[in-house]
Amino acid sequence: MAEKYTPEVEARLRDDAAKVVARYPHSRSAIMPLLHLIQSEDGFCSPRGIVLVADILGLSRAQVSAVATFYSQYRRHPNGEYNVGVCTNALCAVMGGDIIWEELSNYLGIGHDETTEDGKITLEQLECNAGCDYAPVVMVNWEFFDNQTPQSAKDIVDDIRAGKDIHPTRGANTVGTFKEISRVLAGFEDGRVDEGPAAGDASLRGLKIARDNAWTGPQPSGEESK
């Protein structure tokens, strides 16, 4: 039998869940943000959280678990306070991502989806983060750290373990905890949406060249334009 939430915590989660469900024409469509909501409380998709989501949406635990175990952003066991992901997909790998992964794994003494003993860091080997123009890329709680080296990646985890703020290349000025970011992913604003640049010069260079040359895409004509 899954451990239960205290009445106060369950009431709070149900109140938040009602706000999420109200955004959708069909309640079961809210399953993914509700799983993020559970992670914002428990740090993973806990058995008690699965039970609660199933009850709220009128689904079976198996239906909720099927979603929670399919997507990699949902954790099956407690995640660290900061999720450090190293991209080792093709471009990042050849630009040094494989070396960063090996050195960081050895430095922390953990492998993929494992957590340091202090509970601070979960290490993850990531697929493409759509940041190829800044390879190799490391992500901390899904914030970008571009153009990394083995030493800069070690500096990031050292700062995390020392309790210092860490500053991504793009996006928010500082990185929130795994639980804080999970609440944002559940659909609750943290007031930081306009912090920092969303894209850098490398990402926007093609757009600038097109505008400088007044290039435009193919325009529809005839019946296609109606």
Residues making up the binding site for [2Fe-2S] cluster: 87, 92, 128, 132
Output the known binding site. 87, 92, 128, 132
Alpha carbons 54 and 2: distance in angstroms, whole number: 13
Q: How far apart are CA 71 and CA 146, in angstroms?
A: 24
**Rounded-to-integer distance, Cα 47 and Cα 106, Å:** 32
| Sequence-distant contacts of 129-132: CB under 8 A, at least 24 apart | 129/85, 129/87, 129/92, 131/87, 132/91, 132/92
Tokens of 197: 């640049």
What residue spans of the chain are helical by DSSP H? 7-21, 31-42, 47-57, 61-68, 90-92, 98-108, 150-161, 178-185, 201-212
φ, ψ dihedrals at 193, nearest 5°: -65, -30
